[in-house]
């Protein structure tokens, strides 16, 4: 779902503040951001530098950098559940990131309730899979994608991937970044 398209969700101010946090974080020196790098242990929380991942079978590299903040870290703040973050994140945790995560969760709870009804599932069936009591792979992500001139027609800024969680919320000034690839099912 695109938060810029939904109305009456009450998270507009936090979205703008998240963009400010992302811009401030991306303006840090690379050496400082790399101290919070995601690493090779499969953790997606933290900083990812531009050019860190291949986007296709030819080995072309991605063009984006981003900072991922764990939902668990935000909800437990100031305790650390998974990892620490740059000062630009920590400085905005109380007044931006925690409220953004909480309001986003509220939106997701409403949408999951609607999906349960539409799918004919027992009440609470989807919601029980999204307990605050269990560790979560959910995260907020601020992405910086450099501008490309008109001579660049087709490029892949970020490679194919699967997002964690049941719902993905996006917000941005230009969003044409989400495409779905359906699995090929055996005949």
> In this structure, is residue 123 part of a structural domain?
yes
Span 68-97, pLDDT tens digits? 999 999 999 999 999 999 999 999 999 999
> In this structure, is residue 173 part of a structural domain?
no
Q: List the strands of the sheet with 139-144, edge to edge.
A: 46-48, 65-70, 139-144
> In this structure, is residue 171 part of a structural domain?
no
Q: Can you give the residue range of the structural domain that contains 112?
A: 12-144
Phi, psi (degrees; rounded to nearest 5) at 168: -120, 125
Listed as ranges, residues in the chain with pLDDT below 70 are 1-10, 151-156, 158-187
> In this structure, is residue 37 part of a structural domain?
yes
**How many domains, the chain?**
1
Span 158-181, pLDDT tens digits? 666 566 566 666 665 544 444 555
> In this structure, is residue 182 part of a structural domain?
no
HSE at residue 162, side-chain half, CA atoms within 13 A, is 6
> In this structure, is residue 48 part of a structural domain?
yes
Which CATH number belongs to the domain containing residue 127 in this structure?
Answer: 2.60.120.330
> In this structure, is residue 26 part of a structural domain?
yes
pLDDT at 12: 78
């Amino acid at each position: 779902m695109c938060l810029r398209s939904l109305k009456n969700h009450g998270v507009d101010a936090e979205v703008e503040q998240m963009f400010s946090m992302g811009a401030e974080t991306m303006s840090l020196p690379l050496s400082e951001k790399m101290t919070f790098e995601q690493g090779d242990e499969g953790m997606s929380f933290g900083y990812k530098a531009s050019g860190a991942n291949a986007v296709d079978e030819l080995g072309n590299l991605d063009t984006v950098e981003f900072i991922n903040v764990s939902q668990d870290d935000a909800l437990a703040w100031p305790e650390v559940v998974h990892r620490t973050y740059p000062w630009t994140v920590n400085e905005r945790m109380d007044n931006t990131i925690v409220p953004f995560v909480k309001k986003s969760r509220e939106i997701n709870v409403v949408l999951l309730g609607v999906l349960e009804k539409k799918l004919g599932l027992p009440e609470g069936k989807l919601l029980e899979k999204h307990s605050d009591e269990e560790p979560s792979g959910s995260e907020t992500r601020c992405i910086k994608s450099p501008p490309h001139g008109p001579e660049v027609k087709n490029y892949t800024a970020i490679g194919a991937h699967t997002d964690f969680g049941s719902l993905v919320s996006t917000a941005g000034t230009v969003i044409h970044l989400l495409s779905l690839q359906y699995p090929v099912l055996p005949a």
